[in-house]
Copies of this chain bind each other. A is one copy, B any other.
Amino acid sequence: MGRVTKVLTPAQRIAWLRLIRTDNVGPVTFRQLLNRFGSAEAAIEALPELSRKAGKPLNPISQARAEDEIAGLTRYGARLVAEGEPDYPAHLLHISGAPPLITLAGGEHLDWRRTVGIVGARNASSAGIKMTRLLASELGERGYTVVSGLARGIDTAAHRASLATGTVAVLAGGFDRIYPDENIPLAHDILDSGGALLTEMPLGWEPRSRDFPRRNRLVSGLSLGIVVVEAAKRSGSLITARLALEQNRDLFAVPGSPLDPRAEGGNALIQQGARLVTNAEDIIEVLGSADPARSALFDPEWRPDGEPVADSEPAADDRGRLLGALSSAPIEVDELIAQTGIAPHAMQILLLELDIGGQVEWSSGQLVALRHS
């Protein structure tokens, strides 16, 4: 299970932070920029030229603002951890669109490999809360770290029941924007007990509704498997369940009476193939042999800062040809290369420019489509 790790220099860390905090630069684009230019510093230098090509300004945050964020995090007892660094949670390396930088507080002695996510309804029933407590405490006693989203209801019960054994709360906003307010004491209890708080969002970021599904991909990404305790149809927990399947994680659901609307989501998941869970043993039996590496979509040995890729600039008409080949239907890059005849490196550069220009969007980090404006 050994992996190659490398610690960023302070200058590199600031460059990574400036680049990932740039508008229109998400995890996929960040990685493409690093691949193209060899380092975050070089990518930042190249941004003005890229902005011109993309027809859109690309303004990295200033060196001073990045330093301010790091100083602010330090005051909160939090630190920035880059993909590839020793503290970066191993399972996250295997998800598509892994955050290049996470903010982390606590968790130094947690087991980040034996992890289970427990998610469910905010307006949970007392039976759902009880079930969550039973599962989380027994999983904890059996050596598993419990991951959840610090929401009301099931999430709260999962964290509280695993305080003694180790729990990780993934936030949808910045470190100084714990949501909901009523769970600020729980966040402190998690840190006091040796657990961890984790987010990919900047300090000061107020979580918006779209940030919760984004956060959910980290809850599942950090976990060997996800347990859904109570979930209505079309709920956030079902989004987490879908993401867990996309990430090739094991999916578990607690059943309930078909007469109880809070059981609809879980029962539907079981019908679709999730494992029915009645106790922690049902989960442990399966997770004993779980291996997130089987889902690796990216090369986990990717170097955080490496050499720039060999130059092969796009030809004059490549951009037009690529735009002609793209549509709103997501398509694989290999397919685009086959269809257009554009060289792979040139394709990468063009897609990067279009991405930064907001003209294309990625799904699952693998499929690209024209963005609807």
A1 contacts the other chain (Cβ, under 8 Å)? no
- Which secondary structure dominates where chain A touches chain B? mixed
A279 contacts the other chain (Cβ, under 8 Å)? yes
Nearest residue in B to A268 (C-beta to C-beta)?
Answer: B278
Q: Among the listed B260, B270, B278, which residue makes an inter-chain contact with A276, where contact means beta carbons less than 8 Å apart?
A: B270
Once the chains bind, are A127 and B276 in contact (CB under 8 Å)? no
Copies assembled: 2
Residues of B within 8 A of A260 (CB): 257
Given contacts A271-B282, A276-B270, A282-B271, contact A257 B256 (CB under 8 A): yes
A277 contacts the other chain (Cβ, under 8 Å)? yes
Q: How far is the CB of A166 from chain B (nearest CB, A)?
A: 24
Residues of B within 8 A of A264 (CB): 278
A258 contacts the other chain (Cβ, under 8 Å)? yes
Q: How far is the CB of A321 from chain B (nearest CB, A)?
A: 46
A158 contacts the other chain (Cβ, under 8 Å)? no
Once the chains bind, are A258 and B255 in contact (CB under 8 Å)? yes
Q: How far is the CB of A278 from chain B (nearest CB, A)?
A: 4
Residues of B within 8 A of A267 (CB): 255, 276, 278
Q: How far is the CB of A10 from chain B (nearest CB, A)?
A: 51
Report Cα–Cα, A263/B277, bound state, in Å.
12
In the complex, how many residues of chain A place their beta carbon closer than 8 angstroms to a beta carbon of chain B? 22
Report Cα–Cα, A279/B257, bound state, in Å.
11
Report Cα–Cα, A255/B269, bound state, in Å.
12
A254 contacts the other chain (Cβ, under 8 Å)? yes
A131 contacts the other chain (Cβ, under 8 Å)? yes
Residues of B within 8 A of A258 (CB): 131, 254-255, 277-279
Once the chains bind, are B271 and A127 in contact (CB under 8 Å)? no
Q: A256-B256, A270-B270, A271-B275 are in contact. List 12 more A-B contacts (CB 8 A).
A: A127-B259, A131-B258, A131-B259, A255-B276, A257-B257, A258-B277, A258-B278, A264-B278, A268-B278, A271-B276, A271-B282, A276-B276
User: Can you list 21 A-B pairs with a CB-CB distance of less than 8 A?
Assistant: A127-B257, A130-B259, A131-B258, A254-B257, A255-B255, A255-B256, A255-B258, A255-B263, A255-B270, A256-B256, A256-B257, A257-B260, A257-B263, A258-B277, A258-B278, A258-B279, A267-B278, A270-B270, A270-B276, A271-B276, A271-B278
The 9 residue pairs across chains A and B that have the minimum distance between CB atoms? A255-B255, A258-B278, A270-B276, A271-B276, A256-B257, A267-B278, A127-B259, A127-B257, A255-B267
Residues of chain A whose beta carbon lies under 8 Å from any beta carbon of chain B:
127, 130-131, 254-260, 263-264, 267-268, 270-271, 275-279, 282
